[in-house]
Structure 1
Amino acid sequence: MSYIEFTGVLFGLIAVWLSAKAHLLSWPVGIVNVILAGILYYQVQLYPDMFLQCFFFVTNIIGWWRWANPKPAEADKKQQLKVSYMSRKQLVLAVIIATLGTYLLGQFASNLHHWFPAVFAQPSAFPYIDSFITVMSVLTTFYMIEKKIESWIIWIIVDIVATFLYYIKGVKFYSLEYLIFTIIAAYGLMHWAKEYKSYASKPV
């Protein structure tokens, strides 16, 4: 286990725990995590995950701003963005994007070592499984930015798959991290649902 892996795991766990608590600091802590994770994924040839960290860097900044600057009707008692449920249209669209996106990214990842051998000397490991994690993580991040409760259900699925993948790749500390993420995601689901119910019982 490298220092990058250990430090990245530590910041990742803190960021997800803060997210489960709907705490604004989850976003800046997450920025540190994605920088370290991007370096690690390059080292173990998980290229879709490496690209994903560039995306996460940007969305952590966006999410930080969005939670801190809600519209008046969206603000909770702390003047931060309230949690809410996804619409049926959003759920259907998520399934379509997840299916199509996983296939297309899997095809792309499978050919990276052919197209850019100077950069990607080894073929992508488990391109379709890794692409599923990537696509679902991208989708769910947008829902997290909007504080959608269903985000945690998707994270539970993604975290279970990631736990398996990283264990096989020998990044076992990251595998353990994602196992813990699964537990935190279950807590986050319950905590956010409870917070949503509280809006009906008291003014915000």
Structure 2
Amino acid sequence: MLMPAWTELAGAALGLLNVVLLVRRSVWNFPAAMAMVTLIGITLFEARLYAETGLQVFFFVVNAWGWYLWAVARDRADNTVPVGWMSDRARFVWAAITAALSLSLGWLLHRFTNAALPFADSAIAGASVTAQILLSLRRVENWVLWIAIDVLSVMLYINRELYFLAGLYVVLGVMSVLGLREWRNVARP
């Protein structure tokens, strides 16, 4: 693919806006995210990254849920939300759920589809499900997952010649580091 689809470019631009708003803990990240995942879903389907495509549908739904949760929790004065840390037990449970989801999805894609990179695709998808839920629940650990996801996504998208998405995920990785730092500084114990 020499020229990126307009959906890839527009999705990448909305992705940047979304993460800027997330780092700032703004409830308005959700409308940008919902538009972004719609456009990126189209792009990923065309690249035969089916787990990533399905993930965009999941993101759309969870972003609607997250929008509600954040709207209820936000500080009316500055439109930001409080954030906090998970317990050690919760971290273990979420790690196990993520591994099981990723491996199961990878096997299904390998066995029943023509997915380009089924296990890499599903590892990113499984971790992204967990990260998105933790983000909606306003847990600082979501940023650690997003950093790992961003690194893996860059490699996957370069492999599939989705260079604008790869570039987006480089920037998202940097912004995820900033998000982790910001949320860590304001997190409740």
1:154 aligns with 2:157: no
1:185 match: 176
RMSD: 1.7
> Does structure 1 conserve the Cα–Cα contact (< 8 Å) formed by 2:34 and 2:60?
yes
Deviation at 1:97, TM superposition (A): 1.2
Determine the C-alpha separation between the residues in 1 that align with 2:42 and 2:79: 36
> Does structure 2 conserve the Cα–Cα contact (< 8 Å) formed by 1:68 and 1:80?
no
1:18 aligns with 2:21: yes
Determine the C-alpha separation between the residues in 2 that align with 1:69 and 1:79: 11
| Residue number among 163, 166, 169 corresponding to 1:172 in the alignment | 163
Q: More displaced, 104-113 or 124-133?
A: 104-113
Render the CA deviation track for 1:124-168: whole Å, top value 9, x for unaligned.
011111101000000111110111011101100010000110001
Determine the C-alpha separation between the residues in 1 that align with 2:85 and 2:75: 15
Aligned residues: 186
1:85 aligns with 2:76: no
Deviation at 1:77, TM superposition (A): 6.0
1:46 match: 49
2:128 match: 137
Letter in 2 for 1:142: I
Render the CA deviation track for 1:162-204: whole Å, top value 9, x for unaligned.
01100011001100100111000000001111122xx69xxxx
Determine the C-alpha separation between the residues in 2 that align with 1:25 and 1:175: 25
Deviation at 1:75, TM superposition (A): 5.8
Determine the C-alpha separation between the residues in 2 that align with 1:8 and 1:142: 21
Letter in 1 for 2:93: L
Q: Which runs of 5+ in 1 are unaligned?
A: 114-122
> Does structure 1 conserve the Cα–Cα contact (< 8 Å) formed by 2:49 and 2:115?
yes
**Based on CA coordinates, which of the two structures has the bigger radius of gyration?**
1
> Does structure 2 conserve the Cα–Cα contact (< 8 Å) formed by 1:76 and 1:82?
no
Deviation at 1:90, TM superposition (A): 1.1
Determine the C-alpha separation between the residues in 1 that align with 2:77 and 2:59: 28
> Does structure 1 conserve the Cα–Cα contact (< 8 Å) formed by 2:151 and 2:173?
yes
1:95 aligns with 2:84: no
Determine the C-alpha separation between the residues in 1 that align with 2:67 and 2:97: 25
Deviation at 1:79, TM superposition (A): 6.7
Q: Specify whether residues 79 and 6 from structure 1 end up closer, same or farther in structure 2 by C-alpha distance, changes over 3 A only.
A: closer
Q: Which runs of 5+ in 2 are unaligned?
A: none
Determine the C-alpha separation between the residues in 2 that align with 1:57 and 1:48: 14
Deviation at 1:111, TM superposition (A): 2.7
Instruction: Return the TM-score normalized by structure 1.
Output: 0.86
Determine the C-alpha separation between the residues in 2 that align with 1:132 and 1:20: 24
Deviation at 1:99, TM superposition (A): 1.6
Instruction: Return the TM-score normalized by structure 2.
Output: 0.93
